[in-house]
Structure 1
Amino acid sequence: MIGLDLVYGVAGAVFAIFAVSSVRDRRWANAAFHGLIALSFLAGNRLGDIANGVLVLALVGIAASGRMRRAEPAPPAEDRYGARVFAPALVIPATAVLGTLAFKAFPGWVDPKQATLVALTIGTLVALGLCAWLLRARLHEPIVAGRGLIDDIGWVAVMPQMLASLGAVFALAGVGEVVGRLIGAVIPAGSVFGAVAAYGIGMAVFTIVMGNAFAAFPVMAAAVGVPLLIRGAGGDPAIVAAVGMLAGFCGTLLTPMAANFNLLPAALLDLKDRYGVIRAQVPTALPLLAFNIALLYLMIA
């Protein structure tokens, strides 16, 4: 049955190509960084916990060294294809949606839990083939373009995975229970609005600190969502989870820790204000957070 092995295999192969390409350019830090990511994708489940931990520390050390650098930018390609250049990009989401529906309708070939990721990976491969046929792209061109993009992104490429892992570590360490006791000592007993406000604001605050709403969710769900809103107030688990994540996403708009969303665009657009994206999002994030808190209260009370 096809599952994450396909996804990890394709991702690992791509990063291995980036590593080899960086070696050819004598960009040793980039080569080591991409090579370690490739190793984690291709053999992470066989390395063991200690080895994977050392690998992550090595990635952090390389990123913090400041030795990663960009390659010489490739000359811009001549635009001879007009709107056709959008066709491969549109194939990816289309294949992801249709593939997910097909895999779930006809189980047995693909792990149903990973249907979307498998379909997304297949869509990417189909798009590459379409580029070669429709745009007459040579084999090295998508590799050079992809390497340029990953060089622009840099170490930020692995931040979402690390932050999501941090949330799992916090949950296993019992941080949610500690936070729950602290919140329980502050809000009035039986106050649904107090619990909702603590949950929504807590999701935003933990997201600001951790940079990822998926990392904040296990903590706040254990602290407030499950004990106070679902068990205590009888809230629908799906509604509590969905609106809580929306509240967390408001925190994503406000934090440099969400570097892939807020710092990377500023770097790619060469903005003078490194935090210009965050400043522009504040007027949206705060009212939206208040709206989510009010919405959740109305749906529970």
Structure 2
Amino acid sequence: MNTKDILEFFYIFIGIIMIFASIESFRDKSNSARIGTGLFWLILGIIFATGKYLPNFVIGLLIVVIGILALFKQIKVGKVKGPDEKIEKQSAKRLGAWLFLPSLVLAVLSILISQFTKLGGLIGIGVASVGSLIIAIIMTKINFKTTYHDSERMVRSMGTAGILPQLLATLGAVFTAAGVGQVTAKMIAGIFPAGNHLLGVILYCVAMAVFTMIMGNAFAAFAVITAAIGIPFVVAQGGSPAVVAALGMVSGYCGTLVTPMAANFNSLPVALLEMDDNLGVIKQQAPIAIIMLIVQIVLMYFLAF
């Protein structure tokens, strides 16, 4: 079995959990949009589980259907039954600090597999996730029914934010293929003359942060903004490519901290922690993001040249 087959197994596994979420969404009679929500998770589950075998055109149509459901506000989280508080307290008291063991196993095992095997990071995370789940089941002694409901509950709590990372990564690929970087470079060149090191650094770092805020993905922004601003305005003026690239990515992450488009960082915690303020995470991170961006500009100016 090669790495692609192993990775495909995890995609199928994720798809099955999404189908579980679909079943429970259809059964949630308290949700006025239960049909649309159920279809949303069902379509996602089908794409994840069978995407390898479906024609690209079919997958594209399914994504359009999801977009239509979202447009008409037919995707709602609905009533998600939480865990039993009494059982939670009993388990927490019995296990104590051992509660953190599955989380530690997830982090450590994924790093070990990605760094010391040829399987790669994605498979490492998949293996570590399954391993930590098994450990959690053994430790808490929960039955299959509880595992089923907790799994689908976590997935349903994400709502439409669950698909944003995939769509944003696709958007970045489309922008790069469409030559957005070259167009942006021509626009910037007509406004700001090349040759000023400080101005070039500020433009690059701020553009990385802003474009990441728009796209929600620093990796997608990096390809576009580095081609448009980083190379002609910083690297071509004598800046070290390694320093510029490293600090440019961190500048992008500053934008990640302050945008709801970065759903996996800023929207999922709100949903999973059931926070009242949808922008609560962003508000806490914003001051740090601004300070970090200023620091990246200073570091790049003094270290890159």
With normalisation by structure 2, the TM-score equals 0.86
Find the aligned partners of 2:162 and 2:242 in 1 and give their Cα distance: 30
> Any stretches of 5+ residues in structure 2 without a counterpart?
none
Gaps of at least 5 residues in structure 1 are 105-109
Matched residue type, 1:45: K
Q: Which residue of 1 aligns with 2:114?
A: 100
Cα contact 2:162–2:263 (8 A) shared by 1: no
Find the aligned partners of 2:70 and 2:155 in 1 and give their Cα distance.
13
Amino acid at match of 2:111: V
Rate the CA distance shift 1:23–1:274 in 2: closer, same or farther, 3 A.
Answer: closer
Q: 1:198-231: CA deviations, max 9, x gaps?
A: 111111111122222222112102202234433x
Counterpart residue type for residue 142 of structure 1: T
CA pair 118-217 structure 1, distance change in 2 beyond 3 A: same
* Aligned-partner Cα distance in 1 for 2:270–2:136: 29
- Report how many aligned residue pairs link the two structures: 291
Find out whether 1:47 has 2:50 as its counterpart.
Answer: no
Secondary structure in 2 aligned to 1:71? coil
| CA spacing shift, 1:20–1:215, aligned 2, 3 Å | same
Change (3 A) 1:234 1:10: farther
Q: Which residue of 2 aligns with 1:6?
A: 9
Q: Percent identity?
A: 35
Q: Which amino acid aligns with 2:66?
A: L
Match of 2:63 among 47, 50, 56: 56
On the 8 A contact 2:16/2:45 being kept in 1, the answer is yes
The answer on whether the counterparts of 1:188 and 1:194 sit within 8 Å (CA) in structure 2 is no
Deviations 1:4-53 (A, max 9, x none): 32332222222223223434446433321111111111222332332222
State the Cα distance separating 1:173 from its structure 2 match. 1.0
- Equivalent positions of 1:215-294 (< 5 A) are 215-230=220-235, 232-294=236-298
Q: What is the rounded CA distance, in whole Å, between the counterparts of 1:241 and 1:141 in structure 2?
A: 46
Which letter maps to 2:244?
A: V
Q: Map 1:86-235 to 2 at 5 A.
A: 86-104=100-118, 110=119, 115-230=120-235, 232-235=236-239
Residue 266 of structure 2 aligns to which amino acid in structure 1? N
Distance 1:197 1:246 in 2: 14
2:141 match: secondary structure:
coil
User: Residues of 2 paired with 1:22 and 1:266: CA distance?
Assistant: 20
Query: What amino acid is the match of 1:244?
Result: G
Task: Name the Cα RMSD after superposition.
Answer: 2.2
Match of 2:79 among 66, 70, 77: 70
Give TM-score scaled by structure 1 length: 0.87
- Asked if the contact 2:254–2:289 (Cα under 8 Å) also holds between the matched residues in 1, the reply is yes
The answer as to whether partners of 2:11 and 2:49 remain within 8 angstroms in 1 is yes
**What's the secondary structure of 1:256's corresponding residue?**
coil
